Amino acid sequence: MSLLQVNNLHTYFDTRNGTVKAVNGVSFSLEEGRTLGIVGESGSGKSQTAMSILQLFQKNQRIAEGSIIFDGKEISSLGQKDLLKIRGNEISMIFQEPMTSLNPVFTVKYQLVEAIQLHSKLNKKEAVARAIELLDAVKIPNPKQMLRQYPHQLSGGMSQRVMIAMALACDPKLLIADEPTTALDVIIQAEILKLMNELKDRFSTSILFITHDLGVINSMADDVIVMNGGKIVESAPIKEIFKNAKHPYTKRLMAAFLKTDIKNYQAEETLDFYSSENEHYDFSQYKETGVADPDWVQVSDKHYVAVSLKKETNS
């Protein structure tokens, strides 16, 4: 059984100018202990997909259709009270800006101990000991001293470590990380990614990892879904997506990535975004409208692409 199964999710904003379909028919599943990456450029609907899971919504936002099954329970129809029980208990989230998630007026100790006590029966002293354990787990050099700090005293990398410690405080089954390293410089980013991979094994947490950066996805995810315009255009195991991308949008992302990173891939080949058309795929709808095809073709075992097959002409 999958830990998380999202079926045909539609999340809309009702605005003065009409309905914005931020998530427009997204389906995926995440197995226990695995990391699923969501990749796509800015505005493709990655964050809104993640926000939909716990309905961290604005007033004008709603799930219009679809189902979200977490740990065997349908949660898309739950109210805020029930969702709050799941949030920070079974599902934790970390975001791009750790600073905005930490409260500037309280020490790390206050916030971390509070988070721990909210989700456990530990007394104050035990909770402090647990806080130190967690800070140690996220490789903060001097945990006791860290407890006395206020958020503004921390570097970006340190505050993201504190956020990760906080997210782990409840021993979640699922960790949702939305661009958790985007605001960090590359060396710190690499350290945090390594840390997250280690923690995933140690705490056996499943991770939904969102990023616009294919390099980051490459070092984190087992499987990846590629989003464009609120839809999934391609999904595959990570190695397969790098080796054998089919959708022109995936190839375009890949080409942009290759331009900025020196990698041993055949850039030339990926630059012909529509080269898969030679393989009987019909991308004409995508070419004309920029909207992913509603049909799916299975490329190999776990590799799917949103496209229809060319009609066979009898020749």
Which residues bind to ligand ADP, rule: CB under 6 A?
A: 13, 15, 20, 22, 40, 42-48, 58
State both tokens at 17.
Answer: 């100018």
11 binds, among Mg ion, ligand ADP, none (CB under 5 to 8 A by kind): none
From 10-18, 19-27, 45-53, 237-245, give the range in contact with Mg ion by CB under 5 A.
45-53
> What minimum distance in Å lies between the beta carbon of 66 and ligand ADP?
15
Distances (CA, A) of 127 to 27, 57, 149: 39, 31, 17
Considering just the CA atoms, what is the radius of gyration of the chain in Å? Answer: 21
From 22-30, 43-51, 66-74, 286-294, give the range in contact with Mg ion by CB under 5 A.
43-51
User: Which residues is 306 bridged to in the sheet?
Assistant: 296
190 binds, among ligand ADP, Mg ion, none (CB under 5 to 8 A by kind): none
Distances (CA, A) of 19 to 22, 55, 61, 65, 252: 9, 18, 10, 14, 28
Query: Which C-beta is closer to Mg ion: that of 56 or that of 271?
Result: 56
State both tokens at 283.
Answer: 């991308």
15 binds, among Mg ion, ligand ADP, none (CB under 5 to 8 A by kind): ligand ADP
State both tokens at 315.
Answer: 């020749």
Name which of 134, 138, 307, 132 is nearest 226 in CA terms: 307
Query: Which C-beta is closer to ligand ADP: that of 51 or that of 258?
Result: 51
- Report d(CA 157, CA 153) in Å as an integer: 12
13 binds, among ligand ADP, Mg ion, none (CB under 5 to 8 A by kind): ligand ADP
> What minimum distance in Å lies between the beta carbon of 11 and ligand ADP?
8
Sign of torsion over alpha carbons 279, 285, 288, 291: negative
- Report d(CA 197, CA 200) in Å as an integer: 5
Query: Which C-beta is closer to Mg ion: that of 100 or that of 300?
Result: 100
Phi/psi at 22 (5° precision): -65, -40
20 binds, among Mg ion, ligand ADP, none (CB under 5 to 8 A by kind): ligand ADP
Decide if residue 181 touches Mg ion (CB under 5 A). no
- Report d(CA 218, CA 66) in Å as an integer: 29
Query: Which C-beta is closer to ligand ADP: that of 143 or that of 230?
Result: 230
> What minimum distance in Å lies between the beta carbon of 192 and Mg ion?
17
- Number of neighbouring beta carbons within 10 Å of residue 78: 17
State both tokens at 181.
Answer: 């390293």
CB 177 within 8 A of CB 94: yes
Query: Which C-beta is closer to ligand ADP: that of 101 or that of 276?
Result: 101
111 binds, among ligand ADP, Mg ion, none (CB under 5 to 8 A by kind): none
State both tokens at 213.
Answer: 């950066």
From 41-49, 56-64, 163-171, 228-236, give the range in contact with Mg ion by CB under 5 A.
41-49
Decide if residue 47 touches Mg ion (CB under 5 A). yes
Query: Which C-beta is closer to ligand ADP: that of 6 or that of 168?
Result: 6
> What minimum distance in Å lies between the beta carbon of 41 and ligand ADP?
7
Query: Which C-beta is closer to ligand ADP: that of 42 or that of 313?
Result: 42
Q: Which residues does 48 contact at the CB level (< 8 Å), separation at least 6?
A: 11, 22, 23, 61, 230
Binding site for Mg ion (CB under 5 A): 47
